[in-house]
């Protein structure tokens, strides 16, 4: 995969992360709209965004959600850069991490 393709994938992942974060913030603020002043909504928005990005647990979950899009169908797909049958194993060796993952 070329450097440009990686950059494009990273950009897509970043955009998905931003979209998911924005949707999460909007869902979180929805019950408070019309009940609290706009300044408080702005403070709540900032606090939620900060928590999503800086809390290790929520940041890890966000990364998992944006790591790659869901596959169109189930099956096995090759893992980029992995040896085809795992490290030091032939195809019948039964080693985990044999270069394929479920989709």
More confident residue, 76 or 19: 19
Domain count, the chain: 2
Mean pLDDT of the chain: 75
Is the pLDDT confidence value at 61 over 50? yes
Exposed, middle or buried, 89 (CB in 10 Å: 0-12/13-18/19+)?
Answer: middle
Each residue of 5-19: pLDDT tens digit? Answer: 445 667 777 788 888
Q: How confident is the model at residue 46 (pLDDT cuts 50, 70, 90)?
A: very high
Is the pLDDT confidence value at 90 over 80? no
pLDDT given for residue 35 in this prediction: 94
> Do 42 and 19 share a structural domain?
yes
> Do 58 and 32 share a structural domain?
yes
Is the pLDDT confidence value at 42 over 70? yes
> Do 80 and 103 share a structural domain?
yes
Q: What is the mean pLDDT of residues 55-74?
A: 77
Q: Which two tokens stand for residue 85?
A: 């049958």
> Do 84 and 44 share a structural domain?
no
Domain that holds residue 96: 74-103
Q: Which two tokens stand for residue 35?
A: 């009940």
> Do 91 and 41 share a structural domain?
no
Angle at 87 between CA 67 and CA 66, to 5 degrees: 0
pTM: 0.51
């Amino acid at each position: 995969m070329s450097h440009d393709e990686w950059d494009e994938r990273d950009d897509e992942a970043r955009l998905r992360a931003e979209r998911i974060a924005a949707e999460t913030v909007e869902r979180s603020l929805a019950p408070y709209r019309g009940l609290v002043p706009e300044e408080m909504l702005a403070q709540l928005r900032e606090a939620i965004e900060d928590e999503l990005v800086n809390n290790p647990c929520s940041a890890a979950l966000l990364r998992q959600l944006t790591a790659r899009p869901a596959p169109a169908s189930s099956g096995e797909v090759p893992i980029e850069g992995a040896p085809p049958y795992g490290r030091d194993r032939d195809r019948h060796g039964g080693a985990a991490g044999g270069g394929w993952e479920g989709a």
